[in-house]
Amino acid sequence: MISSRLTLLALAGACLTGSCGGQPSYWTKPVNTTNVTYGMAGGVAVVDDVAHRVVFLTATADQELEAQSVPIGHNFASAATSADGKKLFVLSSGDWPIQTSSDQLPQLTVITLDSPNLTTPFQASVSNVYTMSEPVSNLAIDPLGAYAVGYQGSGSSTSPSQNQSFAQNPNEIVIFNLTAGAVPKTPSSPTQPPFAVSRSLRSFGGTPQQLTFSPSLNLPANAATAGVTATKRRLLLIETNIDVSILDLTHAFDPPVGSAKTYGRTEITVQLTSGTGTASVTPTGLVVDPGPDDGRIAFFTTADSNVYTLQLLPAPAGSPNDFNPQINLTDVGGLPSDIQFVHTDLGALRVAALVPTMSSAVLIEPDTSVTTKVALPAAYSNMSLVTGVVGSPASGTNVPDVALLWGSSSANASGVALWTLSTTVGQPYRSIEVLDIAAPIQAVLDVPGPLYDYLKVLATPGGGGDFYILDLSQRTANPIHTTNSPLLTIAPDGLRMWAYDQSTDLARIDFATLTPTPLTTNASISVVYDIERPGTCASAASPPRCRSLVAINAQGTLGATVFDALNPVASARQDVALLLEGP
Amino acid sequence: MKPLTILFVIAPAAFATGALAQPAQPALPALPALAPEPSQPAPSPAPAPPVRPVDTPPESVVPADGVDRRDGNWRIEAGYRGSYVRSSGYNPFSNNGYFPEFSLAASRTLFRSGRFSFAPGVAWDVGNTGATARGDVSSLAMQRITVSLEGRLHLGPPGYAYLRAAPGAAVQHAQIDDPSSPGAPLSNRQWVFATDLSAGYAWLVWPRFERSLVQPRLWLQGEGGYGFVAEQRLALAPALPSGSTERASGIDLGSLSMQGGFFRIAAAVSF
C-alpha cells in the first residue's frame, strides 16, 4: 500500500518536473553582435535578428543611452542607411519557404529615426513595409533617396543559409519606390506596384555584382539634334561579372505593355565578351558623367586595357527604350586602376584613367577616343576630384578639375599628388604637385563641409602607426602618431575625427587644432559612432547640435561607452548588456 | 518531555513489583507504588521507621495501552520542493520554469482536540537554478524562511492530513555574467515577502503498529500548494568594487515573481 502511494507520488513529481514549459527562444538563442550596428544621424541601430527587432540606441544629455525597439521581419538579410542617416532599410528573408498561412513573406522594412527639433529626443518608427514574392540577399540604396533595390547577386554573408531557397534566380531584383507613399497593410499581391516591382534581369551568364544609381540625366543625349525630346531620367547601372546592364528607373513602374508581364521598360545589356571567344572580362569602376545633358557612362574591366565609354543617344523607332548606348573602346596601354570624368580647359570633357603599370594617366576624348598620356611621378592607383575645395584660381562653369592622386600598387611611400587639369604650353596639365608622405596611402577619407572640407584624412595600411591630415589649401600633411594601427571615423558634422584601436584606446582629433585628446574605455572598442543628441551646445556646427560618441563593445550582449563628443572627459558612462533586456 | 518522564516512572515500578515476592526484604520506603491494600488488616503498631512522607500519588505506573503515541510532539522534516514559476522575469534564469529547493522544517504539537491538532514551526527552503540568457550564464538563488502554522487531521494508523500556512520572507539573488560588463557580473539581491499555502498527507512508515510505544518514528509526506512571493523589479547592475569611479548603467529585466504552484516530498522524524 505504501509503496504504491510512494510510486504515485514519485510519478506525479516526475511528470510535473518534466512538463514545465520551455524557455522562450528569445532567451535560448545567443545574440549575434558582429557587424550588426549601423550609425545613423541620431543614434546607433543594432539589428537583433533572434528577437526580430532593431534596437535604436540614442544618447541623452547626461551621456546615458536609451533603447527603443522596433520590429522587423524574420530572418535578417542585410541593412543599409539613407545618405542623410535618418532612415534604416532592413531586408529580411521571412519564413522562407512559405509553408503555412502564418509564415511571413520576405520584406523590406523602412525605419525612420528623427527628431522634429533640437531639443526633442529622437524617435524611431516604422515608416513603410514592402513585401516581396522572393527573398533577396543584398540591398542598394539610392543616394538621392528615391529608390532602393534588393538583389540576389551571388549571395550575402549575412543571409542565413537555412532560409535560402533550394533554387534561386541570382538575376532577380526588386525595385522599391521610396517616394510612392505608405504601402497598404494588406497588399493584394506580395509585390505591389507602384510601391515595388520585381523583375529578372536578362542574363548571358552573369550575375549582378555592383549597382550604381545615376544622377538625374536628361535623356536621350543629343535629343535636339535627333528631333526628339529629352526628359529627366534616373538610371540603375548593374555591373555583372561579364557585362553591364542599364535600367530606366524612372519608368521601372510602368504597367506591362501588350503580352509582357514585367513592369517597366526592358533593360539594355552591354555585352563585353566576344561571341567568338571564351575569354571573359569583368567590368569595374563604373562612373557616370555628372553633366545632366551628356548622358555618358564609362567603366573599365579587370582583364583588358580598354576603357569603355558609352553615350546614351536617341534610340531607333520601335525600341523599348528611347535611348541606346553608343560604345567606344579606348586602349590606354595598360590595366587601368581608376577612372573619372574630368573637365580640362574651357570645360572640355575627358575620361582620365590611371595606369599604374606605366606610372601615368591617360586622358581620353570620349567621342573620338583620342588619348593623351600624362607621365606621373609615381604609380598612383586611385583618384578623387577635389576641384571644389582647393581654391582653383579660375571661376565659372568651365573650371578645370583638380584631382587628388594617391595609393601606390608597389606599396612604396609615394605620397599624394594634386593634378591640375588645365593645359599649359607643351604639356596637357598645368601642374602636378607632390606631397611626400613617408608611408603608402591606403584610403582617403573625406571631411564633410562646410568648415573643413579642404581637409582629407589619409589612412595608411594596417601595421603602420600613423595617419595624416592633408590640408589641400595649405598643401600640408600633418602626421598623427598612434601606438597601434588605428581605425578612423570622421564625425558627420565635419568638426572632428576619432581614432581608435580595437582595444580600449581612443583619441579625438579636433580639426580646428589637430590636437589629439586621449581617452580610454573599460571595454574593448569594436566601432565608434559620432551621433547627435537632443539639446543645443556651443559648437561651430550649424545648427549647434549636441553630440555624443558611442563606442560599441561587441562582446556579450553588446555594451557601449558614451562620451560627450564636444567635450569628452575620462569618466565616461558605460552601458552593458544592451540587448539583454526583454523584447 | 512527557514520554521520557513516563519511561523513567515505568522502569522502577516494574522493578519494585518483583521485589514483593521476597518477604525477607523490607519494603522500600521510597516506593510509593506499594501502598497498602485497603482489605488487609492493619499491621501491629511498631516504632515508626524514618519513612519519607508521600505527598501526591504518581500519575500512572502502568502503560496506558489505549494511548496512541505515534504522532509524537516534535517533528523534523527534510525534503525536496519543486515550484512552477510562470513569471516572465524568470525566463532568463530557467530553461523550463521550474525551481528546485531543499526544504528543512521543525514543528511542535501545541494543541490536541480529538482527531485534530495544531503544530506551529519554522521552515527553511533554499534553492538555485541557472540557464543561459541570450548566451550569457545566468543564475538565480533564493532562500525562504517561514513560520509554518499547521493544522492536522489524524486519520488513525495510516497517518494524518494537514493544512499549512507559512508566512515569511525570501531573499533572492539574481546574477548574469555578461562579457560586456568587464570584471563585474550584473547582479541584484533583494528581500521580499513570501507565503505558502498548502495541503498534504503524512504516512507513518516505521514503526507503524506499536501505537503506545514511545520512540522516534519515521514518516514520509507529500504536499502541494501555492507559494506567494512578492514581485520584485529585476534591475541588475554591475557589482563594482567599493570606491570604483566607473559610471556604469544597469539593465532592467522586468518584474520577477517567484510565485506559483509547488509540491514537496519529505521525510520526517517525530518523537
Highest mean pLDDT among A34-48, A160-174, A564-578: A34-48
- Integer-rounded Cα Rg, in Å, for chain B is 30
Yes or no, beta carbons of B265 and A578 under 8 Å apart: no
State the nearest Cα–Cα gap between B19 and chain A, in angstroms. Answer: 46
Pick from A543, A535, A580: nearest CA to A560? A580
**pLDDT average, residue stretch B152-166:** 90
Pick from A94, A89, A87: nearest CA to A79? A89
Q: Identity (one letter) of the amino acid at A332?
A: V
The model's pLDDT over A527-544, given as tens digits with 9 standing for 90+, comes to: 999 999 998 888 777 778
> Which residue of B lies nearest to A64 if distances are taken between CA atoms?
B249
* Cα distance between residue A405 and residue A433, in whole Å: 10
Domain membership of residue B185 (yes or no) is yes
Chain A residues whose beta carbon lies within 8 Å of the beta carbon of residue B203:
2, 5
State the nearest Cα–Cα gap between B260 and chain A, in angstroms. Answer: 11
* Residue A56, strand partner residues: A45, A68
Chain A residues whose beta carbon lies within 8 Å of the beta carbon of residue B185:
none
pLDDT of A159:
47
Higher-confidence residue of A116 and B200: namely B200
Yes or no, beta carbons of B253 and A27 under 8 Å apart: no
* Cα distance between residue A292 and residue A100, in whole Å: 50
Domain membership of residue B5 (yes or no) is no
pLDDT band at A262 (very low <50, low <70, confident <90, very high): confident
pLDDT exceeds 70 at position A119? yes
Q: Identity (one letter) of the amino acid at A228?
A: V
Task: Specify whether the CB–CB gap between A59 and A13 falls below 8 A.
Answer: no
Assembly ipTM: 0.81
Is it true that the peptide bond before A544 is cis, omega within 30 degrees of 0? no
Give me the number of domains chain B comprises: 1
Domain membership of residue B223 (yes or no) is yes
Yes or no, beta carbons of B132 and A575 under 8 Å apart: no
**pLDDT average, residue stretch B150-156:** 90
Query: Chain B contact for A411, CB < 8 A?
Result: no
Higher-confidence residue of B185 and A398: namely B185
The model's pLDDT over A177-197, given as tens digits with 9 standing for 90+, comes to: 999 888 887 666 666 777 899
Q: A551: buried, middle or exposed (CB in 10 Å: 19+, 13-18, 0-12)?
A: buried
Domain membership of residue B188 (yes or no) is yes
Which residues, in sequence order, are CB contacts of A341 under 8 Å at separation 6+?
A: A287, A288, A289, A290, A291, A296, A298, A349, A350, A351, A352
Segment among A255-259, A431-435, A516-520 with least mean pLDDT: A255-259
Q: Which of B178, B205, B220 sits opposite A577 (nearest CB)?
A: B178
Domain membership of residue B18 (yes or no) is no
> Which residue of B lies nearest to A5 if distances are taken between CA atoms?
B203
Yes or no, beta carbons of B91 and A24 under 8 Å apart: yes
Query: Chain B contact for A119, CB < 8 A?
Result: no
Yes or no, beta carbons of B182 and A64 under 8 Å apart: no
The model's pLDDT over A472-531, given as tens digits with 9 standing for 90+, comes to: 988 899 999 988 889 999 999 999 999 998 888 999 999 999 999 999 888 899 999 999
CB pairs under 8 A between A and B: 123
* Cα distance between residue A69 and residue A574, in whole Å: 20
Task: Specify whether the CB–CB gap between A442 and A460 falls below 8 A.
Answer: yes
> Which residue of A lies nearest to B219 if distances are taken between CA atoms?
A2
Q: What is the pTM of this model?
A: 0.84
Domain membership of residue B63 (yes or no) is no
Yes or no, beta carbons of A577 and B252 under 8 Å apart: no
Mutate to test the interface with A, among B180, B255, B258 (most CBs of A within 10 A): B180
Yes or no, beta carbons of B134 and A64 under 8 Å apart: no
Yes or no, beta carbons of A30 and B133 under 8 Å apart: no
Domain membership of residue B6 (yes or no) is no
Query: Chain B contact for A110, CB < 8 A?
Result: no
**Alpha helix positions (H), A223-372:** 223-226
Q: Which of A9, A523, A582 sits opposite B180 (nearest CB)?
A: A523
The DSSP bridge pattern shows strands A573-575 and B247-249 to be parallel
Task: Specify whether the CB–CB gap between B239 and B228 falls below 8 A.
Answer: no
* Cα distance between residue A560 and residue A577, in whole Å: 9
Chain A residues whose beta carbon lies within 8 Å of the beta carbon of residue B96:
20-23
Domain containing B211 equals 74-239+252-270
Domain membership of residue B42 (yes or no) is no
> Which residue of B lies nearest to A525 if distances are taken between CA atoms?
B180
Mutate to test the interface with A, among B181, B208, B252 (most CBs of A within 10 A): B181
pLDDT of A246:
97
Yes or no, beta carbons of A27 and B252 under 8 Å apart: no
pLDDT band at B36 (very low <50, low <70, confident <90, very high): very low
Mean pLDDT across chain A:
86
* Cα distance between residue A54 and residue A68, in whole Å: 8
Q: What is the CATH number of the domain that holds B80?
A: 2.40.160.20
Yes or no, beta carbons of B178 and A581 under 8 Å apart: no
Highest mean pLDDT among A150-154, A221-225, A429-433, B143-147: B143-147
pLDDT of A155:
59
Yes or no, beta carbons of A30 and B132 under 8 Å apart: yes
pLDDT exceeds 70 at position B22? no
Q: How many residues does chain B have?
A: 271
Yes or no, beta carbons of B180 and A6 under 8 Å apart: no
Task: For residue B22, give Cα distances in angstroms to B16, B18, B25, B175.
Answer: 11, 8, 6, 78
pLDDT of B184:
83
> Which residue of B lies nearest to A67 if distances are taken between CA atoms?
B251
State the nearest Cα–Cα gap between A17 and chain B, in angstroms. Answer: 7
DSSP A331-396: E-SS---EEEEEE-GGG-EEEEEEEGGGTEEEEE-TTT--EEEEE-SS-EEEEEE-GGGTT-S--S
Which residues, in sequence order, are CB contacts of A468 under 8 Å at separation 6+?
A: A437, A439, A441, A457, A458, A460, A477, A478, A479, A480
Q: Which of B82, B186, B252 sits opposite A16 (nearest CB)?
A: B82
